[in-house]
Every structure is written in C-alpha cells, then in structure tokens.
Amino acid sequence: MSTVYIGLGSNLDNPAQQLQGAVDSLKSLPETKFILASSLFSSKPMGPQDQPDYMNAVVCIETELSPLALLDQLQAIELAFGRVRKDERWGARVLDLDILLIDDLVIENERLTVPHYGMKVREFVIYPLAQINPELVLPDGSNVTQLQEKIDDNGLIIVGELR
C-alpha cells in the first residue's frame, strides 16, 4: 500500500466542476482508498498570463496500484473529463492530474517523474499540500510547512471545499 498525493488543476470549462468530477473519479479508483482532499484554491496562472485563473487542489489516496498503473488511471480520467474539442483549442486540457509524491519514492523514467518536477516552488501545490498534511516531509528531507513559509502565496485563495 502506497500513500500518494495528487495535484489537480483546471482553468477551462467550469474549473470547480472539473475538479469535483475528478475527485468523484478518484474516489472510485480500483484498489484505492480515498483519504482526503484539500480545499478548492483559486490561483493566478503560472506561465503565460493570457489565460484564465486556475482552480487547484491536492488529494491524498492510499493505493495498491503500481506507479505506472496509477498514472494510466489518471490519464484516463484526464481524457474522460478534460478534453475540449480540437477546433476550440488545440490539445488544451481542462484537467491536469499530477502525481506529486508516492511514499518516499524517487522515480525518474520516460513517463513519470516523482516527486513532481517543480512542485516545491508552486504555491498552488505546496499550500494545499501543507493544508492537508503540515508534517509532510519530501524524499529530499524538506518539510512542506517550511517550503510554504518560503513561497509567496501569489494571490492564492480558498474559494470552496470539495466533497
């Protein structure tokens, strides 16, 4: 059994509804127990600014799925919920599900990098993570609450709760 943290993000097609739909799907993953979800956070886009604000959240699950089997499941959920019509926006995903952490594992292969690249400097990952587990320590020994204290919130706000 592995404890896994997953980052959720959306900025298109009713982002709050996308994230709730994703949580509903995560709750019915095989061989998996849903542990808890952070609040729903609104965040300013990282990267190109000519796009809508994001909704972000982090969830914790316990799973018997292997890392790549879990990745397959998450990519299937992204496809089912996330895709917009090709003529609207090429390749745009309205739902991103990122594996952030799997126990203390460090994984670097073609399909999957864990811990998630860049998570330590993204307020929309670290704040929700610190909310659901302030004691959490990353494989490199850094504590999530200490990371949070170092990162500007960049206007991040709690706008609701996930069911």
Catalytic residue list: 83, 93, 96, 98
Whichever of 32 and 43 has its CB closer to ligand ROI, that residue is: 43
Q: Which residues bind ligand ROI (CB under 6 A)?
A: 9, 43-47, 54, 56, 96, 124
H or E element at residue 148: helix 144-150
CB of 104 to ligand ROI, least distance (A): 24
Whichever of 45 and 160 has its CB closer to ligand ROI, that residue is: 45
Q: What is the DSSP string of 45-104?
A: PSS-SSSPPEEEEEEEEEE-S-HHHHHHHHHHHIIIIIBPPTTTSTT-BS-EEEEEEETT
CB of 64 to ligand ROI, least distance (A): 28
Is 128 in contact with 41 (CB distance < 8 Å)?
Answer: yes
Whichever of 55 and 70 has its CB closer to ligand ROI, that residue is: 55
CB of 134 to ligand ROI, least distance (A): 21
Whichever of 9 and 82 has its CB closer to ligand ROI, that residue is: 9
- For residues 3, 75, 25, 113, the Cα torsion angle rounded to the nearest 10 degrees is 20
How far is residue 132 from each of residues 39, 66, 87, 135, measured CA to CA in Å? 9, 23, 38, 9
CB of 124 to ligand ROI, least distance (A): 5
CB count in 10 Å sphere of residue 154? 13
Report which residue's Cβ sits closest to ligand ROI: 9
